[in-house]
Amino acid sequence: MPLPTNTSRPNLPYTPDQSLPNNSRFDLLGRRPPTAEMFDAELNALTDDVNRLAAAINEVEAGNIPGSDNPLNANKVIKTDGEGHLSFSLIHSHQLAAGAVVEAALAAQSVTTAKIGDGAVSQDKMAADSVVTANLVDGAVTSATIADGAVTTDKIAEGAITADGLAENSVLGPSIATNAITGPKIANQTITPDKLNVEDFGGSPGEVVTVLSDGKSCGFEDIPFTGRIIQLKSALLKTQSSVTGATDFKEFSSPLRVSITTQKPRSTLLVFLSANLVSGYSQNSHINYPQTLFYALFKNGVLWDNASGTKGTNQTSGLGQIHCFDYQDVRNISALCSEVVPARGTTNTYSLRALCGADYYVMMNSQLPDDAYRNYSGVAGISSLYVLEIGG
């Protein structure tokens, strides 16, 4: 409210010389008392000063401050520098004291996204359940922002995971529940031969898928090879080879030997032997005296039971025996033996061995003599060993 500017006073005139300066006011006291006019003049001057001050104060209004009518000063506040100077200024953030702006002072929706600094809103400042699905932009949640184990089965909506949402090779065999993949879930022509690994499903190389007796499930079986020749291994010996002074079965100097690895289970191995042998006394550096020799088939370094027996008067176990009368009495021997091998991948080695005694030779593919029974020319024959695998 404005101050009164009409304070009353005695209507007594005064002149300046009656209202003396402060430093000389009533300087005459002690000489003579002040007059009534002097007191009245002082009071009147004081009253007039009060009235002028009240009028000046009343004139200080917003509309009367210099610059208040300038459009450039709109929305600005008056600022003093403390030395009697006023100016119009905008309020900036650095002029606000910490905590000066409280929540109650903010208008609704006054804080927008553009006014929030990067990283200003942390997890601790967010109320529980304040972020819902509708607040997330597409692609906002990436794999790197999801904590390990945060996405559980209960949090995945029915049908939320589609084929397009799965990375290539992201679903492996151990991740698929038993019987989870049924016929209707397999697109036509999606299962190609290169995607089938029968070993992952209990099968073995070479097996085929067959329908089991229940008519619903499948199993793995070998391709039927019963009675068919699966493979043939052979060894041919054209050169002369010998066993010297053997009192037990030994291989020839150039072995007649065959190794085979079965390709199918329950296969039958047929072993066929054909060899040209002769025996004789060795002390005269040629074969000239009659002698009995024994021969046998060995499997993996051991006398093969399927091709052994008790032969000769000395009870020697072997495949067979022959008696040669002289160096020209070359005998052809042959034998056909077999065995069933249960497992595929089984390796067996078959070889011909012979014995004849400490002072005798056994010669295979012996060349006939042409000079004093010492030098040999011509080929007496070819010895061979065949092993066939036949499907069982």
Question: How do residues 126-164 score in pLDDT, each as one tens digit?
Answer: 888 888 877 888 888 888 888 888 888 888 888 788 877
Give residue 129's identity as a one-letter amino acid code: D
- Identify the structural domains of the chain with CATH numbers, from first to last: 1-79 (no CATH), 229-390 (2.60.120.760)
Confidence bin at 116 (pLDDT 50/70/90): confident
Q: Secondary structure of the chain in the HEC alphabet?
A: CCCCCCCCCCCCCCCCCCCCCHHHCCCCCCCCCCCHHHHHHHHHHHHHHHHHHHHHHHHCCHHHCCCCCCHHHCCCEEEECCCCCEEEECCCHHHCCCCCCCHHHCCCCCCCHHHCCCCCCCHHHCCCCCCCHHHCCCCCCCHHHCCCCCCCHHHCCCCCCCHHHCCCCCCCHHHCCCCCCCHHHCCCCCCCHHHCCHHHHCCCCCEEEEECCCCCCEEEEECCCECCEEEEEEEEECCCEEEECCCCCEECCCCCEEEEECCCCCEEEEEEEEEEEEEEECCCCCCCCCEEEEEEEEECCEECHHHCEEECCCCEEECEEEEECCCCCCEEEEEEEEEEECCCCCEEEEEEEEECCCCEEEEECCCEEEECCCEEECCCCCEEEEEEEEEC
Could you tell me which residue, 302 or 181, shows the higher pLDDT? 302
Confidence bin at 326 (pLDDT 50/70/90): low
Is pLDDT above 50 for 91?
A: yes
pLDDT at 388: 96
pLDDT at 312: 43
Question: How do residues 224-234 score in pLDDT, each as one tens digit?
Answer: 678 899 999 99
Confidence bin at 378 (pLDDT 50/70/90): very low
pLDDT at 314: 43
- % of the chain residues with pLDDT over 90: 16
pLDDT at 285: 47
**Average pLDDT of 297-315?**
70
Is pLDDT above 90 for 3?
A: no
Report pTM.
0.46
- Contact (Cβ atoms closer than 8 angstroms) between residue 296 and residue 244: no
Confidence bin at 206 (pLDDT 50/70/90): low
d(CA 175, CA 76): 68
Confidence bin at 310 (pLDDT 50/70/90): very low
pLDDT at 345: 94
Lowest mean pLDDT among 259-273, 279-293, 368-382: 368-382
Is pLDDT above 80 for 195?
A: no
pLDDT at 24: 52
pLDDT at 132: 81
